[in-house]
A and B are shown apart, each in its own frame.
Chain A
Amino acid sequence: MDMQQPDPLSTTFAALADPTRRAILARLAQGEASVTELSAPFDMSQPAISKHLRVLERAGLIERGRLAQWRPRRLKAGPLRDIADWVGQYRRHWEESFERLDTYLRDLQEREQRSGDDDDRDTNRPG
């Protein structure tokens, strides 16, 4: 097997890379909608919109309702939450870590200034 299985998050990211698909998701975040309703704001044919919907569906971002007639699309929260968690965590991690590092470095230097150079346990560690 030389085909690499894309990880779920990459599939989600790829689906989200397109502005039309993001707009569709934003619309669906307000509630379920039919294909006709979804294509209304776009200067796009219904088949073109359906193609975008298929990509979103394959990425697990939306699902079809069971109503036989108009099959409304609706959001599936799972993958979006995973992504929001991932990026949110990454961003928050560095923003807040940098904040703490700043405080730590300040404390450290103040303490060193107060106690002179006698506190030097760092030299115990080989470089």
Chain B
Amino acid sequence: MTATRIDRGSTATTTIYSEGGDLVFERTFDAPRELVWKAFTDPERIPRWWGPKGSTTTVAEMDVRPGGKWRYESSAPHRDDVAFYGEYLEVTPPEGFKWTFMFDVGGVGPQGGPETFRFEDVDGKTKVTSIGHMGSPEIIEGALATGMVGGAIETWDRLEALLAEG
């Protein structure tokens, strides 16, 4: 079965596409590969960049070798703390690694799956590819389709809150 690449809203700096059941992010960083490797695998460096803007990440556990566990705790204003965690599956310095990437959202239980990172040297720069293995194209379609109704839902929530205030 050939999987087609479907653009999923690439930005000026990052290419984002889905291919079969994978959701892929690609970005080239102006830094040597060894440095990128360290940024991803050194517990002291993770808090310097991991997580969305305005969030703070603490490394609770990080055992970078196959079978080793990892756990990061992310906190940010206006939301509950989120724990990201999983297990390293493959570790190949400085070419990349594969781990399970799990997290809990709103009490629905652990979500996520395997994720692969590839670091490629491109003329002294490093192309980073992260591949989230979501399972099936249907999952990606379904997930992205919610954007369509998401806005309406939020509006409804706000209306509901307003009505609740009386």
Answer whether A104 and B142 are a contact pair too, CB < 8 Å, given A26-B148, A29-B152: no
Interface size class of B (residues with CB under 8 A): 35 or more
Contacting residue for B35 out of A13, A90, A109, A125, CB 8 A: A109
State whether the Cβ of A70 lies closer than 8 Å to any Cβ in chain B.
no
Give bound CA distance, A97 to B72, whole Å: 14
A72 → B minimal CB distance (Å): 15
Contacting residue for B25 out of A10, A95, A106, A125, CB 8 A: A95
Query: Which A residue sits closest to B108, measured CB to CB?
Result: A82
Q: Are B52 and A97 in contact (CB under 8 A)?
A: yes
Residues in chain B near residue A33, CB distance under 8 A: none
Residues in chain B near residue A127, CB distance under 8 A: 93
Contacting residue for B51 out of A12, A83, A84, A97, CB 8 A: A97
Other contacts beyond A22-B145, A80-B150, A92-B52: 15, CB < 8 A: A7-B109, A9-B108, A26-B152, A29-B153, A77-B153, A77-B157, A81-B157, A95-B16, A98-B27, A101-B49, A102-B30, A105-B29, A105-B30, A106-B30, A127-B93
Give the B-binding residues of A (Cβ under 8 A). Answer: 7-10, 12-17, 22, 25-26, 29-30, 75, 77, 80-106, 108-109, 122, 125, 127
Give the A-binding residues of B (Cβ under 8 A). Answer: 11, 13-14, 16, 23, 25, 27, 29-31, 35-36, 38-39, 42, 45, 48-53, 82, 93, 103, 105-106, 108-109, 111, 128, 130, 132, 138-139, 141-150, 152-153, 156-157
